[in-house]
Each structure stands twice: as structure tokens, then as C-alpha cells.
Amino acid sequence: MALTSPEARIWWKEPLHKFEIIWVLIAFVWGLVMFFTMVWWHITGEQNLSNEAYRVNPDDYASRVEAWAAENKVREEGDTGIPVVRATAGGDVYMLARLWEWWPILELQKGQTYRLHLSSLDWLHGFSLQPTNINIQVHPDYEMVITITPDEAGEFGVVCNEYCGIGHHQMVGKIYVVEE
């Protein structure tokens, strides 16, 4: 323990004290434990989404989502009349991000697997499904496709977690999961 300069100015030639060796070994072993924990968790933790990404024209994507929503709409919600769209079990579902909304509201069935297509029409947005731990960056000109299987019923919030401008704090959407 040195509060002052070492007596010998060539300190790197001094022998290590046994406590220094112990702490270096503890730090090294802890580093190995953390490294292999990350590898193990990557393999067994089921934290990696099965996703795909495709180049897409934002106008074409918007047309596809609007046609799909019109075909599968079951009701409207809120003052703005945002459509609530019931997806076919096991099928494709679509959601788009634009300043400052997630559109449309989805209604999924518990226990069914869906391919969720996401894209942005304008800026980079973040898709964060609350309270689950699904976070995806949604880029314009790219269509992200993730496979999801809701395992509990309820109302889930979709929050933008990438700053997208002055209305960012109001950019929320919904996904309903129903039991049938």
C-alpha cells in the first residue's frame, strides 16, 4: 500500500506482494466467469429474437399495412378512430411507425404464433413491447420481421424508445392479447 512514492523509482521491477497476486487472480477469474456466463446466457437464455430484415419502400409498406388493416379491422378505438385489427391465428401481422404513433392496434390470440412486420415511414423509431423485454430498432426503408407467440393475455403497450422528435413521449401503441 503506497501513499507515497516508492523508494525505488523503478517500481515495475519490485516483487509483487501476495495480496496483489491474490487480487489479480480474483479479477482474472471473475472476468472468465462473466465471459462464460454471457456465452451460456446467449445460448440458453432465449433472449435472441428470431428476426429478419428486408429492404422496403416506405410508401409500398404503408399501402400494404393500410390494406391489411382495412381487411381485418374489428373496431375503432379512441377519439382518432385508430383501427383495432384482429390478426389471423398463425399469420402475418403488420404495424407501422410514423411521427408520432404506432399504427394500427393489434389484437392477437394467446398461444398462437405470428410474424410481426415492423417498419418506419419517416425516422428511426424503437419498438419496445411493455412489460415484456422485446426491443427492436425500426428503420425507414427496412422491414423487420419478428416471430412472436403471446403466452399471456392482457393489454400490452408499445413504446418508442429511440428519440424521434418533439412528440416522442406521446408515441405509444397497443397490442391486445385475448384468450379464445
User: How long, in residues, is the chain?
Assistant: 180
Is residue 46 left, alpha or beta, with left meaning phi > 0 and alpha meaning psi from -120 to 50? Answer: left
First to last CA, the chain: 68
- Residue 149, C-alpha cell as written in the block: 407467440
What is the rounded CA–CA span in Å between residue 173 and residue 164? 15
Percent of all residues in the chain with a pLDDT value above 90, rounded to a whole number: 65
Task: Please confirm whether the linkage preceding 100 is cis (ω < 30° from 0).
Answer: yes
Kindly state the helix (H) or strand (E) to which residue 58 belongs, with its residue range: helix 58-72
Residue partners of 87: CB distance under 8 A and separation at least 6: 72, 93, 106, 107, 108, 109, 114
Q: Which of the four pLDDT bands, split at 50, 70 and 90, describes residue 80? A: confident
Residue partners of 106: CB distance under 8 A and separation at least 6: 84, 85, 87, 93, 95, 174, 175, 176
Residue partners of 68: CB distance under 8 A and separation at least 6: 85, 92, 94
Digit-coded pLDDT (tens) for 107-152? 999 999 999 999 999 999 999 998 887 888 999 999 999 988 999 9
Q: How many CA atoms lie within 13 A of 84 on its CB side?
A: 13
Please give the pLDDT value at position 139: 93
**pLDDT exceeds cutoff 60 at 1:** no
